[in-house]
Amino acid sequence: MMENRDIHVYFLGRVPYADGLQLQKEIHGRVVDKKQVSSLLFLEHPPVLTLGKNASNRDVLVTMEELEREGIDLEHVDRGGEATAHEPGQLVVYPILDLRTFQLGPKVFVNRLEDVVIKLLAEYGLSAYRDAEFPGVWVKDAKICSVGFRISRGVSYHGIALNVSTTLDTFSKIVPCGIQNRGLTTLARLVGKELLVTELAERFLQIFRESFAVAAVTYSRKTL
């Protein structure tokens, strides 16, 4: 019998957004049916814009022709939130967690994930915080981590995106998260050196294990 608080971790490397979403849905179904323990996916995406349930096409500032010329995909997705962007150099984490076995309500779950990011950034000397009005994690007046989830049948999917060493170029194509008067930043920019996404993933996992009282972890290291 599977221990309730075991998790399986996937280190997937760089994965097209649509492929990553399909994998999330497959794992979500298995977790719902108790055929797999809760899981955590670590990956990066090629440039892509995603529009959540509260977004509209007005949040995209360029034409589809321009996106096609630059090789940027556009995806309408079923997570909460508005428009965001993914690109290489960003740590994307998709927790597919059975919230009942972790005894978490949706708000506590999201806040605890934000706290994992805040603790991680503190190790780099940064004082990060959550904003009651705008979900995610902030440093000074700039957003460094986006958050957007869907919870279906008690199990979460979608997740967070931490700007590690990304250029932020893809974000210039949208109104990110519906916010027009505050900026974006990256960890590399704030600490003044290049950082590896894989390094952040390993440390994120360690803090996650402590924060969520995970019992045991198994791993898959592969690309799709």
Q: Which residues are part of the catalytic machinery?
A: 177
Measured CA to CA, the distance from residue 90 to residue 176 in angstroms comes to 15
Residue 193, SS3 per DSSP = coil
Measured CA to CA, the distance from residue 45 to residue 16 in angstroms comes to 6
Are 115 and 147 in contact, with CB atoms under 8 Å apart? no
Tokens 């290049």 map to which residue?
Answer: 194
**Tokens for 7?**
């998790």
Beta-carbon neighbour count of residue 172 at 10 Å?
12
**Tokens for 3?**
């221990």
